[in-house]
C-alpha cells in the first residue's frame, strides 16, 4: 500500500483517496466547511489548506489526491497562518449572532473561530445585509447573513435527495441561496441540510428556538418510522423529546434520515394522551387502578373464555423482547395457537434512498421470534372477529381500528378487549383493560431492520419506575409532595412499562413464574432458544447493530 506522511506520521492509504480522507481515517482533523465525506468535492471554502513539501503553494486537502511519499503539514506556521486568514475572511460578513443562533454549540464556524481567530475584527466597514428569515420550504428556514456559501445544501439536494431545488444567485459578497423559480425545498429528505449546514444558516422550523443544544441530552437510538431502521440521536430536555437527528451508520442510513421519520415519530411520546398507569373499565369508563389489581382482573377475565375464543395480536412496532415474551405467554401460559401480528406495507411509498414500504420497524424481528403461531393467522383472526368466533382479543401496540376503520363495529361487540397502548386511541375506547405501554423512547430492546440488521433501542425518556439517573434526565429533585422538578419546571413521567415486563406480571398472576427483570435477560433467552441469535448479546450488537445471517427463509414484507 502507498504511504503518506501527515504531521510526521507515516500512514497507509488507498489509491485515489484525498489528503483530507486519509487524515480523517487516521483521526487527524483538518478543518473544513464545504467538504463532506458523502458529497462531491467543491473546494470553495479554502479552510482546509495544508502545506505539502515540494509543492510551491499551499493546497486544499479536500481536492488533492494523496500520493506515495507525499509529506503534509497541517499544523505548520504557513498552514495556520493561511487558515487564520481564511477564517478572518469568512467572518467579515458573518453577523456573529451566536447568542441567539440555534447552531451555537454545534457550529463548525464557532468552533474554528475559537481555534483560528484573533478574537476581534479589523473590518470597520458596513457588513452585507441579507434576508434573515426565508422559508425555503415547509420545514427549513434560511438566514442569508449566516450563510458562508459552502454549497453543501445544494449538493445534498442534487446528489443525495435527487432533487435540484437550491442554487446560488448573485456574486461576490452578495451571493446567496435561493430555491429555483417555482420550486420549494420540499424533498422528503430536506431537513438533512440543517444537519450538514456548517453554520446556523439553515434551521429546522420544527425545532428552532426550542432549546440550546447543551441543555439537552442525546441518546443513540433507532427511528421507528419504517423498516429501514435509520440510526438516530434522540434529544431530550426535562424528560421531553425535542428532536431527532440522524446518526451515522454506513451500513444503514449513512448520514441521513427522512423528514417523516425526523418529525413524526416522537411527538406522541410527549403528548397528554399518554396512558398513565393501568386502567380497567368500570361503569363504562376507563378508570386508573393499581398493577396488582389489573393483573388479577386480566387473569380472571382471560380464564373465563375457551382457548379457541381468544386471539393475541402482537406488533412489528414492539421489540424482539416484547414479541418473544408475548408469544411465549400466549402459547405456554394461556395455551393458544392463535397469535400473529399485522404486516403493514404501503405500496409505492418507498424510494431507492432510505424510505421503505414496510411502515413498521421490526417486521422481520416479530417473524423471527415467533410472533406468528400455528393457529389462526392475522387475517383469520380478523375473520374470526367478524364472524363472532373470536370473543376476546388481546392486542399489543397496534390500533386495529386505525388499520381498518370497518372493524370498529365488530370490535365494539367483543366480550373482552385487552390492549397495550402508549396513548389513548380509538381502540382503547372499546377496551376493558388497558395496560400502559412504554414507547420505543422509554425502553431497552432490539429491532431488526429490512436488511436483517439487529439494532439496539435505548431509553432516552424516563418512565415513572425508571432510574432517575437515566441518560435522558437532567438533574432533578423531588419536593415534599413527591413531585419531581428540574430547572425547566415540573418533570412529567408516565407510569408505563415495556410489554415484556407487563407480560412477566401477568404470567406471574397466572401462576407461571417468569423471572426476567431486565430486557437483556429476555434477550439472553432469545439468543439461547433461537439459532439466528446464537451468541449475541447487547454488547456484541453494539452501537451500530449486527448483520444477522438467516438460517431460514424470512419473507420480507
For 410, phi then psi, to 5°, come to -70, -40
Show the cell assigned to 542. Answer: 453494539
Please report the sign of the dihedral spanned by the C-alpha atoms of residue 321, residue 324, residue 330, residue 332.
Answer: negative
- Our CB check for ligand SF4 shows the closer of 51 and 358 to be 358
Least distance in angstroms from the C-beta of 41 to ligand SF4: 14
The CB-side HSE value for 36 (13 A sphere, CA atoms) comes to 24
> Judged by CB under 6 A, does residue 113 bind ligand SF4?
no
**Count of residues in contact with ligand SF4, rule CB under 6 A:** 26
- Our CB check for ligand SF4 shows the closer of 287 and 349 to be 349
> Judged by CB under 6 A, does residue 39 bind ligand SF4?
no
Within 234-263, which residues bind ligand SF4 (CB under 6 A)?
253, 257-258, 260-261
From the DSSP assignment, how many helices (H) and strands (E) are in the chain?
16, 26
Least distance in angstroms from the C-beta of 234 to ligand SF4: 12
> Judged by CB under 6 A, does residue 147 bind ligand SF4?
yes
Within 194-223, which residues bind ligand SF4 (CB under 6 A)?
197-199, 201-202, 223
- Our CB check for ligand SF4 shows the closer of 79 and 194 to be 194
Rounded CA-CA distance 428/517 in Å is 28
Give Cβ neighbours of residue 230 (< 8 Å, ≥ 6 apart): 222, 223, 246, 249, 252, 253, 256, 257, 258, 261, 354
- Our CB check for ligand SF4 shows the closer of 247 and 497 to be 247
* Alpha-carbon radius of gyration of the chain: 27
Rounded CA-CA distance 296/509 in Å is 6
Least distance in angstroms from the C-beta of 82 to ligand SF4: 21
Binder of ligand SF4 out of 18, 74, 151, 315 (CB under 6 A): 151
Least distance in angstroms from the C-beta of 247 to ligand SF4: 11
Least distance in angstroms from the C-beta of 135 to ligand SF4: 14
- Our CB check for ligand SF4 shows the closer of 32 and 274 to be 32
Q: Which residue from 227, 230, 217 is spatially nearest to 259, judged by alpha carbons?
A: 230
Binding string, residues 152-191; x marks residues near ligand SF4 by CB under 6 A: xx-----------------------x--------------
Instruction: Show the DSSP H helices in 434-534 as ranges.
Output: 499-510, 519-529
- Residue 261 near residue 230, CB atoms below 8 Å: yes
Rounded CA-CA distance 147/198 in Å is 9
Least distance in angstroms from the C-beta of 350 to ligand SF4: 9
Kindly indicate which of the ranges 23-31, 60-68, 228-236, 548-556 contains the residues binding ligand SF4, using the contact rule CB under 6 A. 228-236
* Tally of residues, the chain: 557
Within 436-495, which residues bind ligand SF4 (CB under 6 A)?
none
Instruction: Give the C-alpha distances (Å, rounded to integers) separating 70 from 24, 51, 53, 62.
Output: 16, 11, 7, 15
- Residue 118 near residue 84, CB atoms below 8 Å: yes
230 burial level (CB within 10 Å; 0-12, 13-18, 19+): buried
259 burial level (CB within 10 Å; 0-12, 13-18, 19+): buried
Kindly indicate which of the ranges 147-155, 272-280, 308-316, 492-500 contains the residues binding ligand SF4, using the contact rule CB under 6 A. 147-155
- Residue 357 near residue 343, CB atoms below 8 Å: no
- Our CB check for ligand SF4 shows the closer of 49 and 153 to be 153
- Our CB check for ligand SF4 shows the closer of 244 and 504 to be 244
Binding string, residues 291-330; x marks residues near ligand SF4 by CB under 6 A: ----------------------------------------
- Residue 422 near residue 447, CB atoms below 8 Å: no
Binder of ligand SF4 out of 150, 325, 395, 460 (CB under 6 A): 150
Least distance in angstroms from the C-beta of 491 to ligand SF4: 28
Kindly indicate which of the ranges 145-153, 267-275, 510-518, 538-546 contains the residues binding ligand SF4, using the contact rule CB under 6 A. 145-153
Least distance in angstroms from the C-beta of 194 to ligand SF4: 9
> Judged by CB under 6 A, does residue 110 bind ligand SF4?
no
> Judged by CB under 6 A, does residue 225 bind ligand SF4?
yes
Least distance in angstroms from the C-beta of 542 to ligand SF4: 19
> Judged by CB under 6 A, does residue 536 bind ligand SF4?
no
| Residue carrying the nine cell digits 410527549 | 270
Least distance in angstroms from the C-beta of 504 to ligand SF4: 29
Binder of ligand SF4 out of 229, 314, 384, 505 (CB under 6 A): 229
Rounded CA-CA distance 171/135 in Å is 22
> Judged by CB under 6 A, does residue 230 bind ligand SF4?
yes
Least distance in angstroms from the C-beta of 436 to ligand SF4: 25
> Judged by CB under 6 A, does residue 355 bind ligand SF4?
yes
- Residue 496 near residue 274, CB atoms below 8 Å: yes
| Residue carrying the nine cell digits 419536593 | 479
DSSP state of 252: T
Give Cβ neighbours of residue 312 (< 8 Å, ≥ 6 apart): 326, 327, 329, 330, 334, 336, 338, 339, 373, 393, 394, 395, 396
- Our CB check for ligand SF4 shows the closer of 202 and 299 to be 202
Show the cell assigned to 10. Answer: 507515516
- Residue 195 near residue 189, CB atoms below 8 Å: no
Binder of ligand SF4 out of 4, 30, 226, 382 (CB under 6 A): 226
* Residues in touch with ligand SF4 (CB under 6 A): 147-153, 177, 197-199, 201-202, 223, 225-226, 228-230, 253, 257-258, 260-261, 354-355
Amino acid at each position: 500500500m502507498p504511504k503518506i506522511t501527515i504531521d510526521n506520521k507515516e500512514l497507509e492509504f488507498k489509491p485515489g483517496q484525498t489528503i483530507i480522507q486519509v487524515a480523517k481515517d487516521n483521526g487527524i482533523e483538518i478543518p473544513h466547511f464545504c467538504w463532506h465525506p458523502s458529497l462531491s468535492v467543491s473546494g470553495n471554502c479554502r479552510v482546509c489548506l495544508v502545506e505539502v513539501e515540494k509543492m510551491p503553494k499551499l493546497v486544499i486537502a479536500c481536492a488533492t489526491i494523496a500520493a506515495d511519499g507525499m509529506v503534509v503539514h497541517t499544523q505548520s506556521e504557513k498552514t495556520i497562518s493561511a487558515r487564520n486568514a481564511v477564517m478572518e475572511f469568512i467572518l467579515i460578513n458573518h453577523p456573529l449572532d451566536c447568542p441567539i443562533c440555534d447552531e451555537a454549540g454545534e457550529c463548525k464556524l464557532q468552533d474554528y473561530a475559537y481555534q483560528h481567530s484573533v478574537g476581534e475584527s479589523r473590518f470597520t466597514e458596513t457588513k452585507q445585509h441579507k434576508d434573515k428569515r426565508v422559508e425555503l420550504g415547509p420545514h427549513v428556514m434560511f438566514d442569508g447573513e449566516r450563510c458562508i456559501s459552502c454549497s453543501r445544501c445544494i449538493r445534498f439536494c442534487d446528489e443525495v435527495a435527487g432533487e435540484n431545488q437550491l442554487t446560488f444567485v448573485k456574486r461576490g459578497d452578495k451571493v446567496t441561496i435561493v430555491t429555483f423559480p417555482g420550486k420549494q425545498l420540499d424533498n422528503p429528505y430536506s431537513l438533512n441540510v440543517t444537519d450538514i449546514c456548517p453554520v446556523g444558516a439553515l434551521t429546522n422550523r420544527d425545532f428552532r428556538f426550542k432549546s440550546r443544544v447543551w441543555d439537552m441530552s442525546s441518546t443513540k437510538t433507532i427511528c421507528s418510522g419504517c423498516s429501514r431502521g435509520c440510526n438516530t440521536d434522540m434529544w431530550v430536555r426535562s424528560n421531553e423529546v425535542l428532536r431527532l437527528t440522524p446518526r451515522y451508520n454506513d451500513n444503514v442510513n449513512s448520514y441521513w434520515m427522512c423528514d417523516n421519520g425526523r418529525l413524526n415519530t416522537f411527538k406522541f411520546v410527549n403528548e397528554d394522551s399518554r396512558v398513565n398507569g393501568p386502567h380497567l373499565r368500570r361503569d363504562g369508563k376507563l378508570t386508573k387502578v393499581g398493577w396488582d389489581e389489573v393483573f388479577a382482573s386480566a387473569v380472571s377475565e382471560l380464564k373465563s373464555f375457551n382457548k379457541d375464543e381468544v386471539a393475541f395480536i402482537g406488533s412489528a412496532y414492539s421489540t424482539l423482547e416484547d414479541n418473544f415474551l408475548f408469544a411465549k405467554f400466549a402459547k405456554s401460559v394461556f395455551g393458544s395457537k392463535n397469535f400473529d401480528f399485522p404486516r403493514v406495507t404501503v405500496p409505492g411509498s418507498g424510494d431507492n434512498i432510505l424510505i421503505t414500504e414496510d411502515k413498521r420497524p421490526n417486521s422481520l424481528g416479530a417473524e423471527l421470534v415467533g410472533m406468528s403461531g400455528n393457529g389462526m393467522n392475522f387475517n383469520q383472526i380478523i375473520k374470526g372477529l367478524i364472524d363472532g368466533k373470536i370473543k376476546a382479543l388481546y392486542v399489543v401496540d397496534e390500533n386495529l381500528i386505525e388499520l381498518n376503520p370497518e372493524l370498529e363495529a365488530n370490535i365494539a361487540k367483543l366480550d373482552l378487549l385487552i390492549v397495550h397502548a402508549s396513548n389513548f386511541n380509538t381502540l382503547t375506547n372499546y377496551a376493558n383493560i388497558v395496560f400502559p405501554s412504554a414507547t420505543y423512547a422509554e425502553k431497552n430492546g432490539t429491532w431488526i431492520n429490512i436488511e436483517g440488521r439487529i439494532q439496539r433501542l435505548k431509553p432516552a425518556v424516563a418512565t415513572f419506575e425508571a432510574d432517575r439517573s437515566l441518560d435522558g434526565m437532567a438533574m432533578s429533585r423531588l419536593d415534599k409532595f413527591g413531585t419531581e422538578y428540574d430547572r425547566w419546571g415540573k418533570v412529567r413521567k408516565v407510569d408505563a412499562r415495556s410489554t415484556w415486563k407487563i407480560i412477566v406480571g401477568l404470567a406471574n398472576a397466572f401462576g407461571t413464574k417468569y423471572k426476567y427483570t431486565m430486557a437483556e435477560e429476555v434477550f439472553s433467552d432469545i439468543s439461547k432458544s433461537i439459532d439466528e441469535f446464537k451468541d449475541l448479546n447487547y454488547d456484541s450488537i453494539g452501537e451500530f447493530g449486527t448483520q444477522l445471517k438467516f438460517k431460514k427463509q424470512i419473507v420480507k414484507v
